[in-house]
């Protein structure tokens, strides 16, 4: 008896098959089931982003990168490299990045994979070198109650001016 | 009239295997909880392959020759079986079986001509299986026909004879099933170890032809099994022919379901098991017959 | 050899002292620095007398720090939860050290890897090129600190001929083969349908991961890279990396984070084993079993997505904790899913194991005797199916495993069936582990706030992945690891395949290869060149 039961055991698969409904779906006509926690591609809010670069530093596969030019700093997002880890969302100080549940990202035109946010850079009033983005400076000024005199200078000029000012105050002239 | 039916039967024989395979795939998909491809998928596959280029090897002409020989003998065999079912003349089934032997041989030899280790290994496996199954199938079909006629002619129910018929029927089904090359006897094209074995060097039209030949083989074997069951029971010729076709479809489906529940065997296991089963069942059947005749 | 832990530590110390070694103890790790003349002897004592488990060896270019190369051999004493790091310094001008292969055969590959990548020569053994592609320039050793990570020599494509053999049939399996799914090459010499010899050629897909992490990533970024070492058991790698760094930096990670790590690790084990069973059924031609196994697996994939945000490569590990919490709602959902899964799996596996072909082809094939299992230091289910009772979750408790109780299934048959049964039992154990953890999970933060990682510290961790122990070795550096070495379990399991494949039917070869659940891309992690030898980058805008 046992022998027979064992022999027909494989046929029980048919019962299981009968019980379970079809699990595949007619994608793309039917959508696959996504859990509420699913991490998809990200969206960066042009208005909010200040071009601080926190996300660029955190992004593991360099999907977010700065492309620099003389007076512009462009934040470039490359979906092709993105691993959808949402680390950038964690680190963005102004919550400019939101995660979407979008995963259908294939495209015929490779250029579609990129999105850009262009920031203009600040110019040092003394030496006309460019520095951080304009928005970033504004952000710093809003956050720190004391607005520095040298905010419009690049870090180099700022240091120099500060030292000069100090030495003027201490010894009365600019030390060479 | 016979001519019309036969032509019709032949056309069905040529076209239907493609769709039967589609049905089989859909059924398998259902049993695996998938949606699966449409029934016409096999047709699409073949059409697509036909439009692809062939990567010829130096033995391609011989392979084509063997495939042609297979197709012609198979079609002739299908015709013979249909005439047998229509007329009930045993001569035709004998012809059909001998044509079957020729066609199976051609199909078995074709892959051996491919100079590739996978193909060769797969081809050798096929030969081993064919040796056992072919003989068992032909023997059991012939025995079945004579036994069933015997059984139908005897008035009193003879238990030994009935048992004899049952065992030989089982042999016929098992060997027929094994000849169709479904799991667990699909060892010749075993994908995991042999990279699809006998199919490995075939491409484009040649692959399409080879795949089609395999479907045709399945059809012929199922048809013979269905035919020898119907013909002695139903004497009305046209009705008999129609029943045979319906039975062919049913058998095909049953075979497909069986194949879903099983895995692939191994070349050192399958022939041994099969040979043992056949010898046991055929000798049981003969014993039954002897008991009936002399007991 | 049941001994008091302190006693055995003393014994190791006196052993090292007697060989002019220098020992420092750091929690569960014994750092033993030994002159290279005594290397063979101490390895022999540890491996053969104390029956320590050999895990891997690591070559490090320490020249910028102290002017030497070094080799570190990682042994673990599984009974006493100890890591033993045997380190020897090697002169940088003419780097050469005695090989310990005579006493520890499993060291074969990792020594050759150190030779290829760091240029350390090993005496008393046959040396060959293992990792670097043919045609790689001499005297360029990619893991040396002066070689930039993006160094790409011009290589011309070469071809290796199948060795001409007249008497035997040669069946090539790979580099591309339907049974492998990954580029790896086995050459099977067959007589009829019987395999009588095997040649293996691997390391086709080096990705330069270690170099990449050491040069251009930060500590936290490496977590995500580590997760991508393997597509199936990536979370084990990122956990292992995080644990190793945390150990080196002595970080006290919140308990809740450790619980969550353990839970996700077990989720991954379940899905990996289900996947393996599916593949095994497919290889023996039982496709219905394959499909249904994967149908069940889909539940656990959904669960993983619910708990972490992604079906695979979960991306929730960071040094110092995890990024995603498990709330009450998810907990209930998890328990519910696991109950369903357990029921369906039990039903299905009983049917599948009773399919005559599955049973016949698994039993008695791919035999690996215990002696060979020990000799090759095989890992995971392969070891446990051959009677080697080791499981890092129990032996080197990490994350939250010390709070759970579970059985470690061990079989002595050493065949493919035993390996399948180990995995089947482990699925049930994993389900129970998750239930226990969810029951006990403490409240609290899931991430350590503000911490420093001091430089020059060493951390080593073994994490039991579905395929066996992952070993991660980290030397901390400035903002990123100074040296990060990964050893995936398949690295140790593949050499054992030679034994398993020999004298078996050809038809079972793919099954046996599959039975170690190989993960070739985890095994090959080191280099930068594409297989065709061309130096092209895939450019998104222009294509190749
Ligand atoms: S989701 Fe991850 S990979 Fe993608 S842009 Fe953000 S940080 Fe980079
Ligand atoms: S503001 Fe946010 S999005 Fe913009 S650069 Fe900084 S971190 Fe990135």
Could you tell me the residue ranges of all domains in chain C? 2-123, 209-523
Residues of chain C found within 8 Å of residue A59, distances taken between Cβ atoms: 221
Higher-confidence residue of C544 and B230: namely B230
Which ligand is nearest to the Cα of residue A133, counting in written order?
2
Average of per-residue pLDDT across C282-308:
89
Q: What is the A56 CA–ligand 1 centroid distance (Å)?
A: 9
How many Cα atoms sit within 13 Å of C415 on the Cβ side? Answer: 11
Q: How confident is the model at residue A176 (pLDDT cuts 50, 70, 90)?
A: low
Query: Distance, in angstroms, between A140 CA and closest chain B CA?
Result: 58
Residue in chain C closest to B31 (alpha carbons) equals: C288
Q: Are A103 and A40 in contact (CB under 8 A)?
A: yes
Average pLDDT over residues B137-154: 86
* Atom 4, ligand 2: residue with shortest CA distance: A49
Distance set, CA A43 to CA A75, A82, A102, A135 (Å): 12, 12, 10, 19
Those residues whose C-beta lies under 8 Å from the C-beta of residue B103, and which sit 6 or more positions away, are B69, B70, B73, B74, B77, B217, B220
Quick one: pLDDT at residue C248? Answer: 92
Residue C163: pLDDT band by 50, 70, 90 thresholds?
Answer: low
B121 near C CB under 8 A:
yes
Indicate yes or no: CB of B193 within 8 angstroms of CB of C169: no
Provide the 8-state DSSP code for C539.
B
Question: pLDDT over 90 for what percent of chain B?
Answer: 8
Contact (CB, 8 A) for C85 and C31: yes
Name the more confident of A150 and B217.
B217
Answer yes or no: do A22 and B257 touch at CB < 8 A. Answer: no
Residue nearest to atom 4 of ligand 1 (CA): A82
As beta bridge partners, residue A72 has: A120
Q: Is the pLDDT higher at C397 or at B195?
A: C397
Long-range contacts of B42-51 (CB under 8 A, 24+ apart): B42/B18, B42/B215, B43/B18, B43/B19, B45/B211, B46/B18, B46/B208, B46/B211, B46/B212, B49/B204, B49/B205, B49/B207, B49/B208, B49/B211, B50/B204, B50/B205, B50/B208
Mean pLDDT of C147-165: 72
Average pLDDT, chain C: 83
Contacts of A21 in chain B (CB under 8 A): 33
B274-291 b/e with 16+ CB inside 10 Å = b? beebbeebbebbeebbee
Strand pairing of C29-33 and C82-91? parallel
**Do C67 and C56 contact (CB within 8 A), yes or no?**
no
The fourth-level CATH superfamily of domain C209-523 is: Cytochrome-c3 Hydrogenase, chain B (1.10.645.10)
Higher pLDDT, B150 or C98: C98
For C477, other C-beta atoms within 10 Å of its C-beta total 17
CA pair distance C474, C486, nearest whole angstrom:
9
Q: Residue A84 CA: which ligand 1 atom is closest?
A: 1
On the 0-12 / 13-18 / 19+ scale of CB atoms within 10 A, B201 is buried
Domains of chain A: 42-170 (3.30.70.20)
CATH topology of domain C2-123: Beta Polymerase; domain 2 (3.30.460)
Taking residues B158-176, report their average pLDDT.
87
> Per CB distance under 8 Å, which residues of B are interface residues toward A?
30-35, 257, 260-262
CB contact under 8 A, B35 and A20: no
Q: Could you tell me the pLDDT band of residue C504, with boundaries at 50, 70 and 90?
A: confident
Tell whether A106 is within 8 A of chain C (Cβ). no
Mean pLDDT of the region C528-536: 34
Q: Residue-wise over C234-273: b if at least 16 C-beta within 10 A, else e?
A: bbbbbbbbbbbbbbbbebebbbbbbbbbbbbbbbbbbbbb
**Which chains, if any, share at least 3 CB pairs under 8 A with chain B?**
A, C
pLDDT at residue C258 in the model: 92
What percentage of residues in chain C have a pLDDT greater than 90? 26
Count of residues making up chain A:
176
**Residue B169 confidence (pLDDT) above 70:** yes
- In this prediction, residue C109 carries a pLDDT of 86
Tell whether omega for the bond before B184 is within 30 degrees of 0, i.e. cis. yes
Query: What are the structure tokens assigned to B98, written together?
Result: 């001998």
Whether a cis peptide bond, with omega within 30° of 0, leads into A28 is: yes
Residue A95: what pLDDT?
92
| pLDDT the model gives residue C537 | 34
The verdict on a CB contact (< 8 Å) between B34 and A17 is no
Angle between helical axes of C287-308 and B2-31 (0-180°, round to 10): 40
Quick one: closest CA in A to C344, which residue? Answer: A16
Give the residue among C168, C54, C197, C186 at the shortest CA–CA distance from C514: C186
> Which of A62-76, B240-254, B264-278, C167-181 shows the lowest mean pLDDT across its residues?
C167-181
* Residue C234 pLDDT exceeds 70: yes
Q: From the CA of C225, which ligand is nearest?
A: 1
C159 or C473, which is more confident? C473
Query: Which residues, listed in sequence order, are joined to residue C173 by a DSSP beta bridge?
Result: C186
CA atoms within 13 A on the CB side of C530: 7
Is residue C538 scored above 70 in pLDDT? no
**pLDDT (tens digit, 9 = 90+) per residue, C213-225?**
888 888 999 999 8
The distance of A5 to chain B (nearest Cα, Å) reads 15
Q: A48 C-alpha vs ligand 2 centroid, how far in Å?
A: 8
**Residue of C164, C187, C287, C292 for testing the chain B interface, max B β-carbons within 10 Å:** C287
Contact state of A17 with B35 under an 8 Å Cβ cutoff: no
pLDDT at C87: 92
Q: How far is B182 from chain C (nearest CA, A)?
A: 10
Token pair 């720190």: residue: A144
The yes-or-no verdict on residue C338 having pLDDT over 90 is: yes
* Residue of A151 and C455 predicted with greater confidence: C455
SS3 A74: strand
Nearest to A60 among C221, C307, C352 (CB): C221
Distance CA C206, CA C149 (A): 13
Interface test with A, best of C541, C542, C543, C544 (most A CBs within 10 A): C541
Say what the pLDDT of residue C523 is: 54
State how far residue A1 is from chain B, nearest Cα, in angstroms: 20
Of B120, B183, B196, the CB nearest to C285: B183
Write out chain C residues lying below 8 Å of A39, CB-based: 309-310, 315
Q: Give me the DSSP letters along C377-411.
A: T--HHHHHHTT----HHHHS--TTGGG--------
């Amino acid at each position: 008896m046992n022998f027979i039961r064992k022999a027909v055991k494989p046929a029980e698969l048919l019962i299981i098959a009968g019980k379970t409904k079809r699990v595949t779906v007619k994608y793309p006509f039917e959508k696959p089931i996504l859990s509420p926690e699913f991490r998809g591609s990200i969206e960066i809010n042009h208005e909010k982003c200040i071009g601080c670069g926190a996300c660029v530093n955190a992004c593991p596969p360099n999907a977010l990168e700065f492309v620099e030019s003389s007076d512009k700093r462009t934040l470039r997002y490359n979906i092709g490299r993105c691993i959808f880890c949402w680390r950038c969302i964690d680190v963005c100080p102004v919550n400019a990045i939101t995660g979407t549940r979008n995963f259908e990202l294939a495209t015929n035109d490779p250029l579609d994979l990129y999105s850009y946010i262009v920031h203009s850079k600040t110019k040092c009033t003394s030496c006309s070198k460019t520095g951080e983005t304009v928005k970033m400076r504004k952000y710093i000024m809003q956050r720190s109650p004391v607005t520095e005199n040298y905010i419009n200078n690049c870090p180099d000029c700022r240091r120099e001016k500060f030292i000069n000012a100090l030495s003027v105050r201490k010894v009365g002239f600019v030390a060479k | 009239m016979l001519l019309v039916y036969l032509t019709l039967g032949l056309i069905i024989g040529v076209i239907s295997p493609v769709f039967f395979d589609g049905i089989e795939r859909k059924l398998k998909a259902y049993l695996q909880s998938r949606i699966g491809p449409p029934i016409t998928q096999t047709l699409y596959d073949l059409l697509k392959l036909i439009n692809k280029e062939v990567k010829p090897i130096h033995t391609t002409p011989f392979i084509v020759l063997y495939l042609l020989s297979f197709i012609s003998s198979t079609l002739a065999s299908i015709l013979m079986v249909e005439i047998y079912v229509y007329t009930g003349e045993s001569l035709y089934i004998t012809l059909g079986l001998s044509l079957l032997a020729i066609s199976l041989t051609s199909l078995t030899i074709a892959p051996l001509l491919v100079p590739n280790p996978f193909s060769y290994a797969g081809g050798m496996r096929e030969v081993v299986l064919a040796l056992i199954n072919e003989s068992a199938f032909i023997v059991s079909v012939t025995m079945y026909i004579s036994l069933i006629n015997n059984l139908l002619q005897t008035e009193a129910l003879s238990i030994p004879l009935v048992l004899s018929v049952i065992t030989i029927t089982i042999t016929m089904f098992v060997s027929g099933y094994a000849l169709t090359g479904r799991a667990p006897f699909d060892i010749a094209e075993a994908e995991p170890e042999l990279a699809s074995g006998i199919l490995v060097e075939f491409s484009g039209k040649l692959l399409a032809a080879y795949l089609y030949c395999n479907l045709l083989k399945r059809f012929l074997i199922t048809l013979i099994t269905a035919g020898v069951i119907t013909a002695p029971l139903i004497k009305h010729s046209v009705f008999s022919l129609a029943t045979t076709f319906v039975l062919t479809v049913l058998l095909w489906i049953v075979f497909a379901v069986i194949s879903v529940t099983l895995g692939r065997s191994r070349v050192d296991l399958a022939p041994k098991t099969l040979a043992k089963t056949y010898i046991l069942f055929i000798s049981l059947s003969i014993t039954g017959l002897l008991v009936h005749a002399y007991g | 050899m049941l001994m008091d832990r302190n006693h055995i530590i003393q014994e190791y110390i006196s052993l090292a002292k007697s060989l002019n070694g220098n020992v420092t103890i750091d929690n569960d790790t014994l750092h033993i620095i030994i002159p290279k003349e005594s290397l063979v002897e101490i390895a022999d004592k540890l491996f053969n007398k104390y029956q320590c488990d050999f895990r891997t060896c690591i070559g490090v270019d320490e020249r910028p720090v102290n002017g030497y190369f070094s080799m570190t051999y990682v042994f673990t004493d599984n009974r006493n939860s100890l890591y033993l790091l045997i380190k020897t310094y090697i002169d940088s001008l003419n780097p050469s050290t005695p090989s310990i292969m005579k006493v520890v055969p499993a060291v074969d590959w990792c020594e050759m890897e150190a030779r290829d990548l760091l240029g350390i020569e090993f005496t008393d053994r046959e040396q060959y090129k293992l990792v670097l592609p043919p045609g790689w320039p001499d005297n360029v050793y990619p893991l040396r600190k002066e070689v930039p990570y993006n160094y790409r020599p011009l290589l011309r494509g070469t071809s290796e001929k199948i060795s001409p053999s007249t008497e035997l049939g040669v069946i090539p399996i790979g580099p591309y083969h339907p049974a492998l799914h990954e580029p790896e090459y086995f050459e099977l010499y067959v007589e009829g349908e019987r395999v009588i010899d095997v040649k293996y050629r691997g390391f086709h897909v080096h990705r330069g991961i270690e170099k990449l992490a050491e040069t251009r990533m930060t500590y936290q970024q490496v977590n995500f890279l580590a997760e991508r070492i393997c597509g199936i058991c990536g979370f084990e790698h990122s956990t292992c990396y995080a644990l190793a760094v945390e150990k080196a930096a002595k970080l006290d990670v919140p308990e809740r984070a450790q619980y969550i790590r353990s839970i996700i690790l077990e989720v991954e084990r379940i899905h990996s084993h289900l996947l393996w069973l599916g593949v095994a059924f497919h290889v023996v031609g039982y496709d219905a079993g394959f499909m249904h196994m994967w149908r069940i697996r889909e539940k656990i994939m959904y669960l993983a997505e619910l708990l972490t945000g992604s079906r695979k490569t979960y991306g929730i590990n960071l040094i110092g904790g995890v990024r995603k919490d498990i709330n009450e709602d998810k907990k209930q959902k998890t328990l519910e899913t696991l109950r369903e899964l357990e029921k369906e799996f039990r039903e299905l596996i009983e049917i599948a194991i009773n399919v005559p072909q599955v049973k016949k082809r698994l039993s008695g094939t791919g035999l690996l005797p215990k002696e060979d299992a020990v000799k090759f230091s095989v890992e995971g289910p392969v070891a446990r199916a051959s009677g080697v009772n080791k499981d890092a979750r129990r032996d080197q408790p990490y994350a939250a495993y010390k709070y759970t109780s579970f059985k470690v299934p061990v079989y002595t048959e050493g065949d493919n069936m035993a390996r399948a049964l180990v995995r089947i039992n482990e699925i049930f154990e994993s389900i129970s582990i998750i239930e226990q953890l969810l029951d006990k999970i403490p409240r609290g933060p899931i991430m350590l706030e503000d911490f420093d990682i001091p430089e020059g510290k060493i951390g080593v961790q073994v994490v039991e992945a579905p395929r066996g122990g992952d070993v991660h070795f980290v030397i901390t550096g400035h903002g990123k690891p100074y040296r990060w070495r990964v050893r995936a379990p398949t690295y140790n399991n593949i050499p054992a395949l030679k034994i398993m494949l020999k004298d078996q039917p050809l038809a079972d070869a793919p099954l046996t290869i599959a039975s170690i659940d190989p993960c070739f891309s985890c095994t090959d992690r080191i280099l930068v060149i594409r297989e065709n030898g061309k130096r092209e980058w895939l450019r998104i805008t222009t294509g190749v």
